[in-house]
Amino acid sequence: MAESISKIYRTTQGRVLALESISFQVGVGEFLCIVGPSGCGKTTLLRILGGLLAPTRGTVYFHGEPLDSPRRQIGFVFQKANLMPWRTVLKNITLPLEVQGLSRAEAHALAQELLELVGLGWFEKVYPRELSIGMQQRVAIARALIHDPAILFLDEPFASLDALTRERMNLELLRIWEARRKTVVMVTHSIQEAVFLADRVLVMSPRPGRIETSVSVSLPRPRQLAMLYSQEFSLLSQQIRLAIHHCCVP
């Protein structure tokens, strides 16, 4: 998927090497999480992987072909839901299909199906301001899935939630993923979240961001919150925490 990706930003202070020689693959249907210290380039990497940002060097491959721009088969959910406040929940979700020219009836049917999937079946006529932040993110996930993408990129979608709501949203995300089995690549600052959600966790080094290590998560599925207190979960979290600490120590 990613082959020797590097990214250089040109600033008033000179050239900044944000990412250096990053290579890895993502399996079909895999749930991959990326963690690392603040400023290591996680979001930059995610945007490059999704075709939103061009690498300075290297190539991203999607279905075996070089990727240099966004595609319909790629869905994105950002840290903020970025819903249009003047559109209802249903119309926020159908927006990508309106741009594609799909009929109103077809778009509404698909959106209603996704509303049911994300647990908001009764909220189609509600406006974003009437929803909690967690519910807004569910709408954003439904909108990202509306054109049936092959891969879904998530950039810290639950970072602004309190701990208990975040746990519930993790369960909701897993429920949606298990229903659709999309390939998912998610950036998060939370080691616990990464271990709970992922099949595999990539640990990035401080800037310039590199892949320091890859940790396979052997926890059985479906995941349950009780696993957070298991020895296996604790050992995996410690392994990732130590990897981050090791790469941050000069």
What would the pLDDT profile of 123-134 be if each residue is shown by its tens digit? 999 999 999 999
Domain contains 95? yes
Q: Give yes or no: residues 56 and 180 share one domain.
A: yes
180 and 227 inside one domain: yes
Q: What domain range is 159 assigned to?
A: 2-73+150-248
The better pLDDT of the pair 104, 25 is held by 25
Average pLDDT, the chain: 92
Residues 67 and 164 in one domain: yes
Do 114 and 197 share a structural domain?
no
What per-residue confidence (pLDDT) applies to 98? Answer: 82
Contact 62, 73 (CB under 8 A): yes
* 34 inside domain: yes
Which residue among 148, 175, 205 closes a domain? 148
pLDDT score at 236: 97
**Per the structure block, which two tokens stand in for 46?**
């995610």
CB atoms within 10 A of CB 188: 24
pLDDT value at position 249?
A: 61
Across residues 82-90, what is the average pLDDT? Answer: 94
pLDDT at 13: 79
Residue 78 lies in a domain: no
- The sheet that has 74-77: what strands, in order across it? 74-77, 151-155, 183-187, 31-35, 200-204, 211-216
Assess whether pLDDT exceeds 70 at residue 250.
no
Among 148, 166, 183, give the residue marking a domain's end.
Answer: 148
- Do both 154 and 236 map to the same domain? yes
> What is the average per-residue pLDDT within 148-172?
92
Domain assignment present for residue 178? The answer is yes
Please indicate, yes or no, if residue 238 is contained in any of the structural domains: yes
Confidence category of residue 28, pLDDT binned at 50, 70, 90 = very high
The pTM (predicted TM-score) of the whole model is: 0.93
Q: Which of the four pLDDT bands, split at 50, 70 and 90, describes residue 20?
A: very high
Q: Final residue of a domain: which of 148, 164, 188?
A: 148
pLDDT greater than 80 at residue 200: yes
Find all residues with CB under 8 Å of 77, minimum gap 6, and list them: 137, 140, 141, 144, 152, 153, 154, 155, 157
Do both 96 and 34 map to the same domain? no
